[in-house]
Protein backbone atom coordinates (compact mmCIF):
# COMPACT_ATOMS: atom_id res chain seq x y z
CA UNK A 1 0.00 0.00 0.00
CA UNK A 2 1.25 3.46 -0.90
CA UNK A 3 0.75 6.44 1.40
CA UNK A 4 0.18 9.71 -0.45
CA UNK A 5 0.47 13.01 1.41
CA UNK A 6 -0.08 16.62 0.45
CA UNK A 7 -0.16 19.79 2.51
CA UNK A 8 -3.53 20.93 1.14
CA UNK A 9 -6.53 18.85 0.12
CA UNK A 10 -6.70 20.82 -3.13
CA UNK A 11 -3.35 19.27 -4.12
CA UNK A 12 -4.80 15.74 -4.06
CA UNK A 13 -8.45 16.44 -4.86
CA UNK A 14 -8.15 14.87 -8.32
CA UNK A 15 -6.80 11.72 -6.67
CA UNK A 16 -9.67 11.68 -4.16
CA UNK A 17 -12.13 12.02 -7.03
CA UNK A 18 -10.70 8.85 -8.63
CA UNK A 19 -10.37 6.84 -5.40
CA UNK A 20 -12.52 3.69 -5.31
CA UNK A 21 -13.70 1.45 -2.45
CA UNK A 22 -13.17 4.34 -0.04
CA UNK A 23 -13.09 4.08 3.74
CA UNK A 24 -12.20 7.02 5.98
CA UNK A 25 -10.37 7.07 9.30
CA UNK A 26 -10.18 10.20 11.47
CA UNK A 27 -7.13 10.64 13.71
CA UNK A 28 -5.45 13.72 15.11
CA UNK A 29 -7.66 16.16 13.19
CA UNK A 30 -6.74 14.38 9.93
CA UNK A 31 -8.84 12.26 7.60
CA UNK A 32 -7.07 9.25 6.07
CA UNK A 33 -8.78 8.03 2.91
CA UNK A 34 -8.09 4.36 2.17
CA UNK A 35 -9.05 2.88 -1.18
CA UNK A 36 -7.95 1.80 -4.62
CA UNK A 37 -6.32 4.12 -7.15
CA UNK A 38 -5.46 2.73 -10.58
CA UNK A 39 -5.69 -0.80 -9.11
CA UNK A 40 -3.21 0.08 -6.37
CA UNK A 41 -4.16 0.16 -2.69
CA UNK A 42 -3.44 3.60 -1.29
CA UNK A 43 -4.16 5.86 1.66
CA UNK A 44 -4.47 9.59 1.00
CA UNK A 45 -4.14 12.34 3.58
CA UNK A 46 -3.47 16.05 3.61
CA UNK A 47 -1.10 16.99 6.39
CA UNK A 48 -1.66 20.75 6.64
CA UNK A 49 1.20 23.21 6.18
CA UNK A 50 4.60 23.08 7.84
CA UNK A 51 7.18 20.66 9.17
CA UNK A 52 5.45 19.82 12.46
CA UNK A 53 2.09 19.08 10.85
CA UNK A 54 3.61 16.94 8.10
CA UNK A 55 5.87 15.03 10.51
CA UNK A 56 2.91 14.22 12.78
CA UNK A 57 0.85 13.05 9.82
CA UNK A 58 3.67 10.89 8.47
CA UNK A 59 4.25 9.24 11.85
CA UNK A 60 0.55 8.42 12.18
CA UNK A 61 0.45 7.11 8.61
CA UNK A 62 3.40 4.77 9.17
CA UNK A 63 2.22 3.47 12.53
CA UNK A 64 -1.47 2.97 11.78
CA UNK A 65 -1.58 1.85 8.15
CA UNK A 66 0.11 -1.04 6.37
CA UNK A 67 2.07 1.04 3.87
CA UNK A 68 5.29 0.15 2.08
CA UNK A 69 6.19 3.59 0.69
CA UNK A 70 5.24 7.26 1.01
CA UNK A 71 4.93 9.80 -1.78
CA UNK A 72 4.51 13.48 -1.00
CA UNK A 73 3.02 15.67 -3.72
CA UNK A 74 2.31 19.38 -3.88
CA UNK A 75 3.46 22.81 -4.97
CA UNK A 76 6.77 24.59 -4.41
CA UNK A 77 8.48 27.86 -5.24
CA UNK A 78 11.27 27.67 -7.81
CA UNK A 79 14.58 29.33 -6.89
CA UNK A 80 16.50 28.58 -10.08
CA UNK A 81 16.17 30.67 -13.24
CA UNK A 82 15.62 27.65 -15.47
CA UNK A 83 12.51 26.56 -13.57
CA UNK A 84 9.14 27.85 -14.73
CA UNK A 85 5.61 27.61 -13.40
CA UNK A 86 4.26 24.17 -14.24
CA UNK A 87 7.64 22.42 -14.20
CA UNK A 88 8.07 19.37 -11.95
CA UNK A 89 10.88 18.65 -9.51
CA UNK A 90 11.36 15.07 -8.39
CA UNK A 91 13.26 15.37 -5.13
CA UNK A 92 16.70 13.86 -4.58
CA UNK A 93 18.16 15.44 -1.42
CA UNK A 94 15.96 17.18 1.15
CA UNK A 95 17.40 19.96 3.34
CA UNK A 96 15.86 21.86 6.26
CA UNK A 97 16.99 25.36 5.35
CA UNK A 98 15.89 26.80 8.72
CA UNK A 99 17.74 24.21 10.83
CA UNK A 100 20.75 25.69 12.64
CA UNK A 101 21.95 24.01 15.86
CA UNK A 102 25.38 25.62 15.90
CA UNK A 103 27.74 25.38 17.73
CA UNK A 104 26.67 21.85 18.64
CA UNK A 105 26.15 20.82 15.02
CA UNK A 106 26.99 22.31 11.65
CA UNK A 107 24.37 24.46 9.96
CA UNK A 108 21.59 22.32 8.40
CA UNK A 109 22.88 19.21 10.20
CA UNK A 110 20.11 17.18 11.84
CA UNK A 111 20.92 16.64 15.54
CA UNK A 112 21.72 13.03 16.45
CA UNK A 113 21.36 11.86 12.83
CA UNK A 114 24.29 14.09 11.79
CA UNK A 115 23.05 14.35 8.19
CA UNK A 116 22.77 17.68 6.41
CA UNK A 117 20.24 16.21 4.01
CA UNK A 118 18.14 13.08 3.55
CA UNK A 119 17.91 11.23 0.26
CA UNK A 120 14.80 9.86 -1.42
CA UNK A 121 14.45 6.30 -2.69
CA UNK A 122 15.54 5.29 -6.19
CA UNK A 123 13.75 7.83 -8.40
CA UNK A 124 13.99 5.96 -11.71
CA UNK A 125 10.38 4.79 -11.88
CA UNK A 126 8.95 8.09 -10.66
CA UNK A 127 11.05 10.08 -13.10
CA UNK A 128 9.97 7.86 -15.98
CA UNK A 129 6.34 8.20 -14.91
CA UNK A 130 6.67 11.97 -14.78
CA UNK A 131 8.31 12.16 -18.21
CA UNK A 132 5.46 10.05 -19.59
CA UNK A 133 2.95 12.39 -17.98
CA UNK A 134 4.67 15.51 -19.36
CA UNK A 135 4.44 14.04 -22.85
CA UNK A 136 0.63 14.02 -22.57
CA UNK A 137 -0.10 16.51 -19.78
CA UNK A 138 -2.81 18.10 -21.92
CA UNK A 139 -4.94 15.01 -21.25
CA UNK A 140 -5.04 15.93 -17.55
CA UNK A 141 -4.79 19.75 -17.54
CA UNK A 142 -7.06 21.84 -19.74
CA UNK A 143 -5.39 24.23 -22.16
CA UNK A 144 -7.41 27.08 -20.69
CA UNK A 145 -6.21 26.45 -17.15
CA UNK A 146 -2.62 25.95 -18.30
CA UNK A 147 -2.68 29.28 -20.13
CA UNK A 148 -3.97 31.06 -17.02
CA UNK A 149 -0.62 30.23 -15.39
CA UNK A 150 1.49 30.59 -18.56
CA UNK A 151 2.21 26.85 -18.76
CA UNK A 152 3.10 25.86 -22.32
CA UNK A 153 6.03 23.42 -22.30
CA UNK A 154 6.52 22.00 -18.80
CA UNK A 155 9.61 19.94 -18.00
CA UNK A 156 10.74 17.60 -15.23
CA UNK A 157 14.06 17.58 -13.38
CA UNK A 158 15.65 15.60 -10.58
CA UNK A 159 16.69 18.15 -7.97
CA UNK A 160 17.38 18.97 -4.35
CA UNK A 161 14.66 20.60 -2.27
CA UNK A 162 14.83 22.95 0.72
CA UNK A 163 12.12 22.90 3.40
CA UNK A 164 11.41 25.41 6.14
CA UNK A 165 8.60 26.91 8.18
CA UNK A 166 8.42 30.14 6.24
CA UNK A 167 7.05 31.34 2.93
CA UNK A 168 9.94 32.49 0.72
CA UNK A 169 8.82 35.53 -1.24
CA UNK A 170 11.78 37.82 -1.88
CA UNK A 171 14.76 37.91 -4.20
CA UNK A 172 16.98 38.58 -1.20
CA UNK A 173 15.94 35.34 0.49
CA UNK A 174 16.36 33.41 -2.76
CA UNK A 175 19.90 34.75 -3.17
CA UNK A 176 20.67 33.79 0.43
CA UNK A 177 19.39 30.24 -0.07
CA UNK A 178 21.24 29.83 -3.35
CA UNK A 179 24.44 30.85 -1.61
CA UNK A 180 23.99 28.54 1.39
CA UNK A 181 22.46 25.59 -0.48
CA UNK A 182 23.54 25.96 -4.11
CA UNK A 183 22.17 22.62 -5.30
CA UNK A 184 18.58 23.24 -4.17
CA UNK A 185 16.07 23.96 -6.92
CA UNK A 186 12.90 24.84 -5.03
CA UNK A 187 11.53 25.65 -1.59
CA UNK A 188 8.52 24.41 0.35
CA UNK A 189 7.44 23.70 3.93
CA UNK A 190 7.13 19.94 4.45
CA UNK A 191 9.35 17.63 2.40
CA UNK A 192 12.46 17.43 4.57
CA UNK A 193 10.38 16.76 7.69
CA UNK A 194 8.58 13.89 5.98
CA UNK A 195 11.94 12.62 4.72
CA UNK A 196 13.33 12.60 8.26
CA UNK A 197 10.42 10.57 9.66
CA UNK A 198 10.67 8.12 6.76
CA UNK A 199 14.41 7.79 7.33
CA UNK A 200 13.93 7.04 11.01
CA UNK A 201 11.26 4.43 10.24
CA UNK A 202 13.17 2.99 7.26
CA UNK A 203 10.25 3.84 4.99
CA UNK A 204 10.92 4.45 1.25
CA UNK A 205 10.08 8.07 0.42
CA UNK A 206 9.59 10.03 -2.79
CA UNK A 207 8.49 13.60 -3.42
CA UNK A 208 6.87 15.39 -6.36
CA UNK A 209 6.89 19.18 -6.39
CA UNK A 210 5.07 21.22 -9.02
CA UNK A 211 6.46 24.73 -9.43
CA UNK A 212 3.68 27.22 -8.69
CA UNK A 213 5.74 30.42 -8.51
CA UNK A 214 9.27 31.80 -8.54
CA UNK A 215 9.36 32.39 -4.74
CA UNK A 216 9.94 36.10 -5.33
CA UNK A 217 8.17 39.42 -4.91
CA UNK A 218 5.78 38.45 -7.72
CA UNK A 219 4.63 35.23 -6.01
CA UNK A 220 0.99 36.33 -6.02
CA UNK A 221 -0.79 33.61 -7.99
CA UNK A 222 -4.09 32.07 -6.92
CA UNK A 223 -2.61 29.13 -4.98
CA UNK A 224 -5.93 27.42 -4.32
CA UNK A 225 -6.79 27.49 -8.02
CA UNK A 226 -3.30 26.35 -9.04
CA UNK A 227 -3.37 23.51 -6.52
CA UNK A 228 -6.82 22.35 -7.56
CA UNK A 229 -6.63 22.67 -11.35
CA UNK A 230 -2.92 22.18 -12.01
CA UNK A 231 -1.03 20.47 -9.16
CA UNK A 232 -3.84 18.04 -8.33
CA UNK A 233 -4.17 16.91 -11.94
CA UNK A 234 -0.40 16.67 -12.32
CA UNK A 235 -0.37 14.30 -9.34
CA UNK A 236 -3.17 12.28 -10.91
CA UNK A 237 -1.36 11.95 -14.22
CA UNK A 238 2.04 11.18 -12.71
CA UNK A 239 0.69 8.53 -10.34
CA UNK A 240 -1.43 6.94 -13.06
CA UNK A 241 1.81 6.36 -14.97
CA UNK A 242 3.71 5.37 -11.81
CA UNK A 243 1.18 2.68 -10.86
CA UNK A 244 0.83 1.37 -14.42
Q: Could you give the angle at which helices 124-135 and 232-242 cross, rounded to 10 degrees?
A: 120
- Rounded mean pLDDT, 58-63: 98
> Residue 126 has what pLDDT?
98
Q: What is the DSSP letter of 223?
A: H
Please state, in angstroms and rounded to a whole number, the distance separating the CA atoms of residues 87 and 160. 14
Q: Using one digit for the tens of pLDDT, what is the confidence trace for 31-40?
A: 999 999 999 9
Domains of the chain: 73-242 (3.40.50.1580)
Q: Using one digit for the tens of pLDDT, what is the confidence trace for 197-207?
A: 999 999 999 99
Number of other CB atoms surrounding residue 92 within 10 Å? 17
Say what the pTM is. 0.96
Question: CA 88 → CA 12, 22, 130, 235, distances in Å?
Answer: 16, 29, 8, 10
pLDDT band at 214 (very low <50, low <70, confident <90, very high): confident
Please state, in angstroms and rounded to a whole number, the distance separating the CA atoms of residues 145 and 143. 6
> Residue 219 has what pLDDT?
56
Between 171 and 63, residue with greater pLDDT? 63
86, 227 contact by CB (below 8 A): no
Q: Using one digit for the tens of pLDDT, what is the confidence trace for 215-231?
A: 665 555 788 899 999 99
Nearest to 126 by CA among 3, 209, 238: 238
> Residue 6 has what pLDDT?
98
Q: Using one digit for the tens of pLDDT, what is the confidence trace for 139-193?
A: 999 999 999 999 999 999 999 999 999 988 888 888 999 999 999 999 999 999 9
Question: CA 19 → CA 6, 24, 203, distances in Å?
Answer: 15, 12, 23
β 156-163/184-188 pair status: parallel
> Is pLDDT above 90 for 83?
yes
Active site residues: 11, 213
Amino acid sequence: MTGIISAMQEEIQALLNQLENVSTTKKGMREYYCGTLFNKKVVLVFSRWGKVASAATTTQLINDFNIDEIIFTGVAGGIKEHLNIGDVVIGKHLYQHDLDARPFYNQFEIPILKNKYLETKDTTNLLNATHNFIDCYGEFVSKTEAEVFDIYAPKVILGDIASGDQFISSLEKIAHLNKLLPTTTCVEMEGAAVAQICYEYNMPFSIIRIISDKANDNATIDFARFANTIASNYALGILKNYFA
